[in-house]
Chain A
Amino acid sequence: MRRYATATGRSLLLGLLALADLLLAMVTLLGIVLSFTLGMIFLFTPAVRVIRWRTTLARRLSGRWLGREVGPSYLPPPPPVRPQPDGWYRYDRQLYKTPRWPEWNNRWKWMCSDPATWRDGLWLLLNPLMGVVLLLPAVAAGYGAAAAWRWHPAALPAGLAVTAAAVAAAPRLLRFYGWWHELLLGPTAKSLLASRIHTLDQARLETADSQASELRRIERDLHDGAQARLVAIGMTLGAVEALVDSDPAAAKALLAKARDASSTALTELRDLVRGIHPPVLAERGLGDAVRALALDSPLKAEVTVDLKTRPEAPVESAAYFSVSELLTNAARHGGADRVWIDVSGRGKSLRITVTDDGSGGADPERGSGLRGIERRLAAFDGVLAVSSPRGGPTTATIDLPHALVWEEERDPRPRMPRWKWLIVGLGYGLGWLPLFAQGVVAAVMKAVAPENKSWFYTLYLPESAQWPMIAFNVVLGVGMYAAAVLIPIQHSRERWMAEATPRRLWLDR
């Protein structure tokens, strides 16, 4: 009951708002028309700004009231203009003293070339119409109520029925309105591509950056550690060479020292290798490497692994170090005693969950460790989701969607049964017979040369049945072809529809 009431109220408000858009649409349309016809281009950007302000509001309302999140769909704004070395600002082949004009030009070009601008405009133009539709339930309900209240007693049931129908239709209407938002205000293919490129660019930068710093760290460790020790060993051995005849006892002591130094160097190298690519990961793969991590952790850890294939080495390594970092975090900050690690692959995606019984309160925004994990995963399109309410428990989920490239692609859809194949075959194989041979061609023959009956069976029927039979044949043929085309589409909606829906093709999305 309450649902219907709120739906009716919302549709009333949205409808009024949409009616108010009429004014907005007229003003902005005037601005845009003037800018293109009379060259008053200074009106264009403000008009577009107003439209965008309105559609942003609509997107927000759509998420909150219509239950349909509609993401922003604009291309990224142009970067600020930078002066040339000589201090001038350049746009195309013109030079300017201030950045004002190049910036204006850029903005103009950005707005004009973005299909979302025009889709927004179309939305604004049509929205008042939608407003009328949206107001229908409230108006009908009010009218019905008034009719029931005031007039003839016979109008009472009719008025109540109208009111009930209008109120019942309100949620559906709102759903339709949400769909309409998504259709025109949803992200365009262009903007999706642009944001994807932006993300990839960011990820590439961060990956290159972190790799460079990793290499610097390794270089430093080698330089200060193993290299220095090897130098020391060499010098000690030189001293031994000089001493071995004159003072064998001292030489022996020095040799023992050299051996200790080599031992230390090996230990340092071992730790370094562990930080670069853990041996157990190379030898056993992710599952056992995570088990080894769990064994080395001071926490009581339970590990479950469900992986049939090994991910690519770089992905594996990123996943390993992420889990390692999460375990360290749990032990150091979370105050946890126990931890549960689950590694599982489903289809192509690899998912790792690390849950601990610590005190919670982990925040990816503040923790540099969690930021580091995100950076590490971003290179492989991976994401980290952390749920950590105060008081625990903390659950961190790592999702690497394309980690298992070697996983055989399992078809989630059931295979099409044989009888459906039979219909498809019959449709394609014999559809021409009723449609053309006994349908269209027969109709032409009947119209052109009625006395020539030839092999058109319909023409041997009684006169009154001939046209209906021909029409039936045409319908039958079309039906057979339609069945042959539609049955497979219906069966694998995901694949066919995703590529070919009008929504995709709609207005250069």
Chain B
Amino acid sequence: MRPRAVIAEDLYLLREGLVHLLQAHGFEVVAAVESGPELLKALTAERPDVAVVDVRLPPTFTDEGLQAALAARQAVPGLPILVLSQHVEQLYARELLADGSGGIGYLLKDRVFNADQFVDAVRRVAAGGTAMDPEVIAKLLASTARHGPLAALTPREREVLELMAEGRSNAAISQRLFLSESAVGKHTANIFAKLGLGPSDDDNRRVLAVLTYLNAARS
């Protein structure tokens, strides 16, 4: 069965583009809406396998989309939602991750340019995983770098940590860094040991552990 998707985006061109992109990659787009209230209705009525949501939506053009997404996730726990935005904020990332149930993505709109990676992220979120924008992770790491044991990581381990925090699996990381999968596994084990986290094979739990760690390290 094809995964069912809901799209919320107020710009017509971008909305149509997203619809075509997802349809071309085997998704069934059950609703493409353009405002916050419509989105909330579509999410609770359709209960899609994944929703791609713009933060800024009519009628207020503030964080309407984000609020609708958070409300829908409260009504339907674990509803997979990928939030798109012109800018990324750690604050919003925290709010999205706050319930700790996974199935969350938060990406810059630019990432749509690279169709393969974008669709990969959508799939990951639909499967209950996480897709964090590299920029969020970079900000998080930048603001944490001065404190604590992150300074003890080797550059390679930092790279692995960044990709891990974005929500990628060991296989994806090994592909990205041109390493063998066992080497990546060794790096992750090292990272977890240095940060004092219990090892975990589940990609999603792993991301949450890392993000929680990063958040905790700075406050």
Give the B-binding residues of A (Cβ under 8 A): 259, 262-263, 266-267, 270, 273-274, 279-280, 282-284, 288, 291-292, 295-298, 300-302
Can you offer 11 A-B residue contacts whose CB atoms are under 8 A? Answer: A259-B113, A263-B110, A279-B56, A279-B87, A280-B87, A280-B92, A283-B63, A292-B91, A295-B139, A297-B143, A298-B145
* Interface bits B42-76 vs A (CB < 8 Å: 1, else 0): 00000000000001100000110000000000000
State A288–B56 Cα separation when bound (angstroms): 16
Known interface pairs A283-B56, A283-B63; A295-B86 also in contact (CB < 8 Å) = no
Known: A274-B87, A292-B89. A282 touches B218 (CB 8 A): no
Contact A296 B143 (CB under 8 A): yes
Instruction: Say whether B113 contacts A279, CB under 8 Å.
Output: no
**B87 with A270: CB separation less than 8 A:** yes
What are the nearest 9 A-B pairs in CB distance? A295-B90, A283-B63, A292-B91, A283-B62, A279-B87, A292-B89, A266-B110, A280-B89, A263-B110
| A282→B63 CA distance, assembly (Å) | 9
- Over the window 110-129 of chain B, the binary record of Cβ atoms lying under 8 Å from chain A Cβ atoms (1 yes, 0 no) is 10011000000000000000
* B62 proximity list for chain A (CB < 8 A): 282-284
Q: How far apart are B32's CB and chain A's nearest CB, in angstroms?
A: 23
* Number of A-B residue pairs with CB-CB distance less than 8 Å in the complex they form: 55
A279 lies within 8 A of B86 (CB): yes
Q: Name the residue on A nearest B111 (C-beta).
A: A263
Cα A302 to Cα B147 in complex, Å, equals 16
Determine the chain B residues whose CB is within 8 A of the CB of A263 once the complex forms: 110, 113
Q: Considering only CB atoms, which chain A residue lies closest to B87 in the complex?
A: A279
Complex Cα–Cα for A296 and B142 (A): 8
| Least Cβ–Cβ distance between A282 and chain B, in angstroms | 7
**In the complex, what distance in Å separates the CA atom of A274 from the CA atom of B87?**
9
Contact A291 B219 (CB under 8 A): no
Q: Is B2 an interface residue (CB 8 A)?
A: no
Do B91 and A291 touch across chains, with their CB atoms under 8 A apart? Answer: yes
Contacts of B142 in A (CB 8 A): 298
CB distance from A261 to the nearest CB of B (A): 11
Please determine whether A273 and B143 come into contact, CB atoms closer than 8 angstroms. no
A281 to chain B, nearest CB (A): 10
Q: Which residues on B sit within 8 Å (CB–CB) of A297?
A: 143
Docked pose: A266 CA to B219 CA in angstroms: 31
User: Given that A263-B110, A266-B110, A298-B143 are contacting pairs, would A283 and B55 also be in contact in the complex, using a CB cutoff of 8 Å?
Assistant: yes
In the complex, what residues of B have CB within 8 A of residue A291's CB? 91
Do B91 and A300 touch across chains, with their CB atoms under 8 A apart? no
Contacts A295-B89, A296-B143 known; 13 new A-B pairs at CB < 8 A: A259-B113, A270-B86, A270-B87, A273-B87, A279-B86, A283-B55, A283-B56, A284-B62, A284-B63, A292-B91, A295-B91, A295-B143, A298-B142
Listed residue (A283, A297, A302) with the most chain B CB atoms within 10 angstroms of its CB: A283
Q: Tell me the complex Cα distance, A273–B139, Å.
A: 18
- Min CB distance A173 to B, Å, is 59
Report the minimum CB–CB distance from A356 to chain B (whole Å): 14
Closest Cβ of chain B to A19, distance in Å, is 68
Bound form: Cα–Cα A291–B143 in Å: 14
* Distance of A279 Cα from B142 Cα, bound (Å): 21
| A273 CA / B108 CA spacing, docked (Å) | 15
What are the residues of chain B within 8 A of A282 when measuring CB–CB? 62
Residue of B91, B94, B109, B143 with most partner-chain A CB within 10 A = B91
Quote the shortest CB–CB distance from B136 to chain A (angstroms).
10
Measured between beta carbons, the chain A residues less than 8 angstroms from B145 are: 298
Nearest-Cβ distance from residue B89 to partner chain A, whole angstroms: 5
Q: Which chain B residues lie closer than 8 Å to A279 at the CB level?
A: 56, 85-87, 89
| B79-116 interface (Cβ within 8 A of A) | 85-87, 89-92, 94, 109-110, 113-114
Alpha-carbon gap, A270 to B146, bound state (A): 26
CA distance A298 to B217 in the complex (A): 12
Q: How far is the CB of B91 from chain A (nearest CB, A)?
A: 4
Residues from chain B with a CB closer than 8 A to the CB of A301 are 219
